[in-house]
Amino acid sequence: MTESTKPAEAVATLAGGCFWCTEAVYERIDGVGDVVSGYIGGQVVNPNYTQVCTGRTGHAEAVEVHFDPSKRTFEEILEIFFKTHDPTTLNRQGPDTGTQYRSGIFYHNQEQKQIAEKYIEKLNQSGEFNRPIVTKLEPATVFYPAEEYHQDYYRRNPNAGYCQMVVRNKVRKTNIEFRDKLK
C-alpha cells in the first residue's frame, strides 16, 4: 500500500483518569494504532508529570488514540471510553483525585463534538449510570506527550502495584466487554 492509498487516520483525545489505564484499554482494540499518554487542557507550556500531579497546571492526564475510521468509528471509541471509566465522578477516578484526573473529551472538530454530545445525552437518558455524566467536552488544544517511562506503561510494568490493583481490572473488563473488538 502506498502512502497515498493508505486510509486516513483519525485521532480521539480522551481523559479518563490515569492515562496508564486508558492507554492499556485502547492498545488492545482492533483498528487502533498508536496510543500516546500525555497532558492536555492546561496553561503551562510543556508540563512534566510532577507539575501535572499538583493539579495546578490545569492539564488532564489523557491519551491520544490514533485509529483507522474505516475499522472503528468515533462513536465506538466513545463506547469503550464510557464503559471503562466512571464518567459520573467529578475530578476523580478510583483512588486518583484532582482536576488532572477529570473525565474529558477533547474534540478535534465540530463533528466529534456533536457525536460526543449526542452520546452523552443518550447515556444520560438510558439509565445506565445512576448519576449524571460529568465528562467535560473541551476543544483539543496542544497535547504534550508524557515522559517516555509513561508510554506503554502497563505492557512494560504489569507487575507494578498500581497496575495489579487498578489497570489490570480495566484491561480485564475490556477483554470481556469488547472481545469482538480486540486485536
By DSSP bridging, strand 96-97 and strand 60-67 are: unpaired
Cβ neighbours of residue 28 closer than 8 Å, sequence gap 6 or more: 171, 174, 175, 178, 182, 183
Phi, psi of 30 (to 5 degrees): -65, 140
CA distance 103 to 43: 18
Q: Which of 18, 21, 53, 163 is catalytic?
A: 18
| DSSP state, residue 113 | H
Encoded amino acid at 177, one letter: E
18 annotated active-site: yes
CA distance 147 to 58: 18
Active site residues: 18
